[in-house]
Amino acid sequence: MALAITLGGCDLLMSGAFGPGFNGDFPSSSPIATYSRGTATVAIAGGESIVLDQLGAGANVDSMYGSEVRWTGPNGWNVRLSGAGFEFDGGGELMSPDGGYLTLDRIDDGKHSSTFDGSRCIVDITVIDASALRGSATCKGLEWYDVMDMLAGPAGPKPLDQPKFDAEVSFEAVR
């Protein structure tokens, strides 16, 4: 049985599971865009506003995986947008045109913290193409987690003992 599964591959086991656009073939990933500069602003409710004026290396949008873009600055803050704009139906249709997974990170006094739970941010993409990625996010009830605890087992990481916070994020990346 194991030999049949190995030789038959995913097509036999999951025929049609990935949608009608696949026609039995798994699509190849292809680049949609690469970006070289950009800015993001994080406005913490009732607090500071952080401007991130640099893009991390390899900022891109890919047909199969969507966006992988990170904005950073000299103050230890980072914004990462993953998964926006992927075309995983095999037919060229955007499967996440208004989404993606946005997280905030900060490195302060040698400690790396992350908001971890991207479901706390509603992402609105206004442009995602070869020339630019633009949008905003409204984040409610964010909590900081210690990045070193991210692989804490089935129970997952526990939030740090800090108050929850809300944030508005705007971002742009261009060629």
Q: Are the C-beta atoms of residues 9 and 24 closer than 8 Å to each other?
A: no
pLDDT of residue 77 exceeding 90: yes
pLDDT per position as a tens digit, 118-149: 889 999 999 999 999 999 999 999 999 999 98
Token readout for 173 is 């990346």
Q: How far is CA 21 from CA 25, 99, 106, in A?
A: 9, 21, 40
pLDDT at 153: 80
What SS3 state is found at 117?
coil
9-68 pLDDT per residue, tens: 444 444 555 555 555 566 678 888 999 999 999 999 998 999 999 999 999 999 888 999
Distances (CA, A) of 143 to 21, 43, 54, 90, 119: 39, 15, 24, 36, 12
**Full strand arrangement of the beta sheet holding 165-174:** 49-52, 37-44, 165-174, 132-142, 121-128
pLDDT score of 85: 84
Domain spans in the chain, listed from the N-terminal domain onward: 30-174
Residue 107: the pLDDT is 95
Q: What is the pLDDT of residue 65?
A: 86
With CA atoms as reference, report the closest residue to 68 among 51, 85, 53, 87: 85
Q: Which of 129, 139, 147 is nearest to 166 (CA)?
A: 139
Top pLDDT among 91 and 42 is at: 42
CA separation for the pair 37, 21 (Å, rounded): 34
Q: Is 135 helix (H, G, I), strand (E, B) or coil?
A: strand
